[in-house]
Chains A and B, each alone.
Chain A
Amino acid sequence: MSPLSVSLRDVSVKRRGKTILGPIDLDLGESGFTVVLGPNGAGKTTLLKVLHGVERVSGGTVQWSAPADAAQQAQAYVFQRPIMLRRSVRNNLAYPLQLRGTSKAEIAREVSLWAARVGLMDVLDQPAPRLSGGEKQKLALARALIRQPSVLFLDEPCANLDGRSTREIEAVLRAAHDSGTRIIMTTHDLGQARRLGSDVVFLLNGALHEQGPATQVFAQPAQPETKAFLDGDIVD
């Protein structure tokens, strides 16, 4: 998968007459692990969906470094609430490959590989809707990565998970990042943001408040609101 970059120019999203995002200018390069931070309702989910092309923008342009269709094919998105197809775990993993017309033998190989990587070998033949919360997140993540995306979007992948599941998912994300996947993730977990992020996008009230390398933003945030947020104060 070839690397992709994206530029937002003057992008805004309005719903019911209210601006919920923007206007935003944002450039995201071909590599890195971007964490999108901000309080509840800041527009994190909306920003991710705009980037992925599944949220209608009210103004501005979203420009990927590839034609729109090819760009979306090269992306994968893990939703905040994992969406389980009413099928076995095995068939959930197989689904994105079946859409592409991948051969049965190849699908079987990939499914075993990814089930092993996220630790779902033992539940391969169980119906996915019956998995635990942590297992569902792992399945959604594996089902995203099995497409070998250039860009992976994650919307709070570890919300409501215990420490152990969180560590397992972080390990998979690190491995994906190390093998060249561009990751853009929202999280509420500042510890996780520090552990994983290479750069930070901080949103406040739908506006891009601060952006920079993770080390810099965490050590010396430029904006007082960012500092307050990172210190755990309430900002709005």
Chain B
Amino acid sequence: MNDIWAGILAAFQLIVSLDADLVEITLRSLQVSLSALVIASLMALPLGTWLAIRRFRFRRAAIATLNALMGLPPVVVGLIVYLLLSRSGPFGVLGLLFTPTAMIIAQVIIITPLIASITHQAMRELWAEYHDLLISLNTSQRQRVATLIWDGRRALLTGALAGFGRAIGEVGAIMIVGGNIDNATRVLTTAIALETGKGDFALALGLGFILIALALMVNFAIHTLSRTERHGTW
């Protein structure tokens, strides 16, 4: 018990004093996960919208694939990315293994299906609602997509936040492809795993509090968004 209390106290000290390691690890986590979020969103938002409004031959298969990809275990994604990027793998020459870039790639693969799936769901509902009006107004394909994305912006942001939450809390894949190297690829989750293993609860708990705070902020933002969705204040 004493160990834990001492750890909690020390953790707060680290946070309050803006401990250099703690800050560095937190910033790297944010950098990796925000990069993954931006890249994944750039692919997932148009893809989800497109799947919602276009009828084409393999649409159902594409949606089923998307949902299946959502269930990919992150550790397996890590393994696959590792094999692709390892020196003997097809992209080995790029020398990306054990770099933040490799971690971003893994996180993009993990969260793109999630964001695309949430986008697809929201856009399908909105399209069903708007379909007749947009057809009647003789809108172009671009105008339709723009209208749906704008009016579905809260749902899309919710999807993006869910993706970010998944990315920042993920440990299995980035441990494998990043290697948890000090000053290079160590992020919140991998550092917590390491410090806990070493028995250094102060740093582990300090990082844990930050991770919890980030997760709470994301959930609070999602909750606020779903409330403004109903009240339509922006």
Are A and B interaction partners?
Answer: yes
Interface residues of A (CB under 8 A from B): 52, 54, 69, 72-73, 76-77, 79, 83, 85-88, 95-96, 99, 127, 129-130
Taking CB atoms and an 8 Å cut-off, the chain B residues in 210-234 that contact chain A are 231-233
Which of A69, A77, A88, A127 touches B136 (beta carbons < 8 Å)?
A: A77
User: How many of chain B's residues have a CB under 8 angstroms from any CB in A?
Assistant: 16
Q: Are B130 and A130 in contact (CB under 8 A)?
A: no
Whether the Cβ atoms of A83 and B129 lie closer than 8 Å is yes
Binding site for A on B (CB under 8 A): 126, 129-130, 132-133, 135-139, 143, 147, 151, 231-233
Query: Which chain A residues border B147 with CB–CB below 8 Å?
Result: 85, 95
Distance A54 CA – B135 CA, assembled complex (angstroms): 7
B151 touches A99 (CB 8 A): no
| Partner pick for B138 among A73, A85, A87, A130, CB 8 A cutoff | A73
**What separation, in Å, do the CA atoms of A95 and B147 have in the docked complex?**
10
Report yes or no: B151 in contact with A86, Cβ–Cβ below 8 A: yes
In the complex, the answer to whether A99 meets B137 with C-beta atoms within 8 Å is: yes
Given contact pairs A127-B231, A127-B232, A87 touches B151 in the complex (Cβ within 8 A): yes
With A99-B143, A127-B231, A127-B232 as contacts: A83 and B138 at CB distance below 8 Å: no
B interface, over-half SS: helix
Query: How far, in angstroms, from A95 to B138 measured CA to CA in the complex?
Result: 12
Q: A83 with B130: in contact, given A127-B231, A127-B232, A129-B232 (CB under 8 Å)?
A: yes
B138 x A79 contact (CB < 8 A)? no
11 CB contacts below 8 A, A to B, read A52-B136, A72-B138, A73-B138, A76-B136, A79-B132, A79-B136, A85-B133, A86-B151, A96-B137, A99-B137, A130-B232
Q: How far is the CA of A77 from the CA of B126 in the complex (A)?
A: 19
Which residues does chain B contribute within 8 Å of A99, judged by CB atoms?
137, 139, 143
A54 touches B136 (CB 8 A): yes
Min CB gap A93→B, angstroms:
13
Contacts A127-B231, A127-B232, A129-B232 hold; do A83 and B133 have CB atoms under 8 A apart? yes
Q: Name the residue of chain B whose CB is nearest to the CB of A75.
A: B136
